[in-house]
């Protein structure tokens, strides 16, 4: 099995390097690379970047570029790291644009760089989903994996269910 991981930005990929503009968060290397280094996976993988944005800044053009990347890539199983605020919208968009491929969207409420981040668990759930499913658009968050149209979010707690 080969998995293609695609970075779009979001909290999972935010870093706090203190190098520019004071104390602002910045996007850099995909968090997926660091998580996979610790995992030392038994599957082939590739890590790509579609964009590096907070999900509230993702545009229709960004979503189309992501769909094009997935549709034109020879792979058939993709894990997209994404900001939590609009991952549902991106999942809905991809469900209309991506054919017979598997896309699992995941992210984190806290940056992967933080010691209390749930990013590794969320990414692990996405990887498990890729092992079990053949096609469709799924969201993996907070230990739950559901088809994108079935996933809901509690806006008070931020948790997916």
Q: What is the DSSP string of 26-69?
A: EE-S-HHHHHHHHH--SSEEEEEEEEEE-GGG--HHHHHHHHHH
Structure tokens that stand for 41 in this block: 């996976």
pLDDT at 20: 59
The secondary element (H helix, E strand) that includes residue 105 is strand 102-106
95 CB-contact burial (10 Å; exposed 0-12 / middle 13-18 / buried 19+): middle
Q: Annotation-wise, does 129 bind a ligand?
A: no
CATH of 2-147, one of 3.30.930.10, 3.30.465.10, 3.40.50.1170, 3.90.550.60: 3.40.50.1170
Q: Cα separation of 107 and 58, whole Å? A: 14
* Below-50 pLDDT ranges, the chain: none
Rounded Cα distance between 121 and 123, Å, is 5
Q: Which of 11, 32, 86, 106 is catalytic?
A: 11
Question: pTM for this one?
Answer: 0.93
- Comparing CA positions, the residue from 97, 64, 66 lying closest to residue 79 is 66
Q: Examine the residue annotation and report whether 11 is marked as an active-site residue of this protein.
A: yes
Give the position of tokens 């991809």.
Answer: 94
Say if residue 40 carries a ligand binding annotation. no
- What pLDDT is attached to residue 48? 98
Going by C-beta distance under 8 Å and a sequence separation of 6 or more, which residues neighbour residue 118?
Answer: 108, 109, 110, 142
């Amino acid at each position: 099995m080969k998995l293609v991981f695609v970075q779009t930005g979001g909290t999972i990929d935010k870093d706090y390097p203190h190098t520019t503009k004071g104390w602002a968060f910045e996007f850099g290397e995909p968090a997926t690379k660091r998580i996979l280094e610790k995992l030392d996976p038994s599957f082939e993988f590739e890590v790509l970047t579609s964009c590096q944005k907070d999900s509230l800044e993702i545009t229709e053009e960004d979503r189309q570029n992501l769909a094009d990347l997935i549709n034109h890539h020879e792979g058939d199983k993709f894990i997209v790291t994404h900001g939590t605020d609009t991952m549902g919208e991106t999942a809905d968009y991809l469900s209309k644009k991506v054919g017979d491929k598997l896309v699992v969207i995941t992210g984190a409420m806290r940056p992967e760089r933080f010691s209390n981040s749930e990013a590794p668990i969320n990414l692990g759930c996405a990887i498990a989903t890729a092992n079990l499913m053949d096609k469709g658009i799924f969201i993996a968050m907070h230990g739950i994996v559901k088809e994108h149209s079935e996933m809901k979010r509690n806006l008070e707690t931020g948790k997916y269910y």
